[in-house]
Structure 1
Amino acid sequence: MSDGQIPTSEKSKVGHSSLKRLDDWRIRLRTSEGMQKSRMLIFGRHFNDGWLFKLAIYIILSAAALLYLNPVVYMLTTSLKHGTDLVNPMIQWIPSKLEWSNYASAIIGLHYWKSLIQTGWISIAASLLQMGSCAIAGYGFARMRIPGKSVFFFIVLLTFLIPPQTLSIPLYVLYSKLGWLNTPLPLLVPGLFAQGLKGAIFIIIFRQFFATLPKELEESARMDGAGPLKTFWRIMLPLARPALLIVFLFSFVWHWNDYYEPALYLKNGDFTLLAQSMQFLQGNLNSAAATGSSMGGSYFSLNESITMAAAFLIIAPPLIVYMFAQRYFVEGIERTGIVE
């Protein structure tokens, strides 16, 4: 071997060390790429598209769902319990036996079918009247040039800010002079004039929706010879179907659940709504429990089961309506501008 040459063994050692460094570099590269992918999956590119963020959202939504569903589940389970289950500390959620007779007692105590029909048609009629009149008022505030429009809109806002209880006495006196007490007219006529339950909110919803529509629609209709009424009826109102649905559902539910106005205006008439029937049932149950009649000592413990059964029977129709209209309800909220 000459002096300037490297031994073969040394060459092999150098080659092995180079290959080892290359393998180590490849392993580190794969490891770093894998860690980056894992980090990307967990945290996401912008943190709000990773698994960790989605998991947190699911946990929050699940907790909120449990929070809202807990009263409904409690209502259902309690409505199916016997009196002995209510006083048994070992039974919390699942009854030992399904007591369907609680619903039969609630139906009898509520005069359910009569009250259901009366509540249904009054709620639907009042909602339709309110929907139509508030749509006209909202369109006028949004699209028409009316002198003093801002003043009138401020008055509408005042009706929203003033508690309705402050107007109860003058309205009661007015309806008494008109002979409307113990009739459904006090619940229906205000809706004909864009008033009634939450009427100002519905005017604001329609005003917000009509203000978002392009002005070219009205200009084209005007060029075709259409007047304001025809433009509203043939062009604007069909486009306002999302707002119409939202207003109808809100108005229907609020009229269905309202107790204050029916208790004030329908005291001794033939009309008894479900909210009133619920109050009467609760009073009868408490009186029966106090006197110990009919069922003796167990009657007091049955009060809660029958009351919960009656409450579920009252909220069941709006829940069914919402189940079928849920998709349109969410789309309507997005398109009416209630949420941005």
Structure 2
Amino acid sequence: MKKKWITHITLLFVSLFMAYPILWWVSAAFKTNEEIDSANLIPHYPTLANFAEGWFAIPGFTFTHFFVNTFELILGVLFTTLVSCSLVAFAFARLDFPLRKFWFSIVLITLMLPSQVTLVPQYDMFNAFGWVNTYLPFIVPHTLAGGIGGAFFIFLLVQFIRGIPKELDEAAKIDGCSWFGIYFRIILPLMKPPLVTVAIYCFLWNWDDFLGHLIYINSVEKYTVGLALKMFVDANSAVPWGQLFAISLVSVIPAFLIFFFAQRYIVEGEASSGLK
């Protein structure tokens, strides 16, 4: 019993130690600029002015504009990812075509390929297409089951489809269904758990894709939330740290809510796909 208490107390202190930066960040959002450097965790004079002033801090724009931009980009990516990855996964799991195992191995190998390796070639290609400063470099690769997490999503969905009895396909064929009919009428309705998991991961990873947004988006009008936050930091002037912390706190709320309310779908989707 004594060892159990020691373990719990140790874990509590470690948790508080790890959570301290987050607690300081939340606290700093309510501090004045003069109080930011203080060591106290609880603000002496808490204020909500950082949120109001930070929301209108970018000349000519509000953060409503940047949030709308971000959601437009992510919704486009989300829709194309769900459609393309589910179709590719269905093909690998159910169709018998030449070199199927070889091409599936190639897809899995791309999981081990760092994104930095393809960064420059992709930029040169998209620049030649005239896609720089548009959202096409993010949406088009996902249309082809590529982009951030594409190979992982395909693998996740393939594992789930392989667990669906093939007798359902055979029964549908007897009733005159084509392969597309089997996909739309049989497989797709059964794929809700892994598709929800894919949607959550796709949202979170693209919401946090600061590097990709920084490389391909140039004009302030098309900035996402992450790029807009970067504008607070100016080497030639004083940084309004209180406003920066306040708006950055607001910027994580959508991702936090998505994960908080949908975490059971993540567990359900991964468990039903054989991934533990």
- The alignment's TM-score, normalised by the length of structure 1, stands at 0.73
What are the residue-to-residue correspondences of 1:119-134 with 2, within 5 Å?
119-134=70-85
Aligned equivalent of 2:117:
166
Q: Which residue of 2 aligns with 1:332?
A: 269
Structure 1 counterpart of 2:103, one-letter code: F
2:156 and 2:270 in contact (8 A); partners too:
no
Which of 105, 111, 114 does residue 53 from structure 2 map onto? 105
Deviation >3 Å, runs of 4+: 55-71
The 8 Å contact of residues 182 and 269 in structure 1, kept in 2 or not, is answered as no
Between the two proteins, the alignment pairs up a number of residues equal to 273
Worse-matched range after superposition: 321-330 or 142-151: 321-330
Please name the residue that 2:236 is paired with.
287
Question: Post-superposition shift, 1:327?
Answer: 3.1
Match of 2:35 in 1: 85
Question: Match of 1:123, as an amino acid?
Answer: I
Give 1:190-205 correspondences, 5 Å limit.
190-205=141-156
Would the aligned equivalents of 1:137 and 1:203 in 2 still touch at CA under 8 Å? yes
2:158 aligned to 197, 200, 207, which one?
207
Task: Compute the displacement of 1:56 (Å).
Answer: 8.3
Tell me the alpha carbon deviations over residues 4-47 of structure 1, each in whole angstroms, 9 at most, x when there is no partner: xxxxxxxxxxxxxxxxxxxxxxxxxxxxxxxxxxxxxx7xxxxx
User: Secondary structure of 1:270's partner?
Assistant: helix
Distance 1:274 1:202 in 2: 25
Q: Which residue of 2 aligns with 1:75?
A: 25
Counterpart of 2:44 in structure 1 is: 96
SS at match of 1:331: helix
Aligned-residue offset at 1:69: 4.0
SS at match of 1:281: coil
Query: 3-state SS of the aligned residue for 2:134?
Result: coil
Amino acid corresponding to residue 287 of structure 1 in structure 2: N
For 1:146 and 1:56, locate their aligned partners in 2 and report how far apart those are by CA, in whole Å.
59
Shift of 1:73: 2.1
Partner of 1:33: none
Shift of 1:172: 1.9
Alpha-carbon displacement from aligned partner over 1:154-176 (angstroms, at most 9, x marks no partner): 22123222222222222222222
Q: Conserved in 2, the CA contact under 8 Å of 1:183 and 1:269?
A: no
- Specify whether residues 174 and 218 from structure 1 end up closer, same or farther in structure 2 by C-alpha distance, changes over 3 A only: same
Cα RMSD over matched residues? 2.4
Counterpart residue number, 1:216: 167
SS in 2 for 1:217: helix
1:65 Cα deviation from its structure 2 partner: 5.5
What secondary structure does 2:105 align onto?
helix
Cα contact 1:278–1:311 (8 A) shared by 2: yes
Question: How big is each residue's C-alpha offset from its partner over 1:49-71, in whole Å with a ceiling of 9 and x where there is no partner?
Answer: xx987x78866875675466433
- Is 1:185 equivalent to 2:136 in the alignment? yes
The higher relative CO (CA closer than 8 Å, separation ≥ 6) is in 2
Answer yes or no: is the 8 Å Cα contact 2:110–2:151 preserved in 1: yes
Question: Percent of aligned positions with the same letter in both sequences?
Answer: 27
Out of 254, 260, 274, the position equivalent to 1:317 is 254
Tell me by how many angstroms 1:138 deviates: 1.2
5+ long unaligned stretches in structure 2? none
Question: For the residues of structure 2 that align with 1:306 and 1:192, how far apart are their CA atoms?
Answer: 37
Matched residues in 2 for 1:219 and 1:118: separation?
A: 45
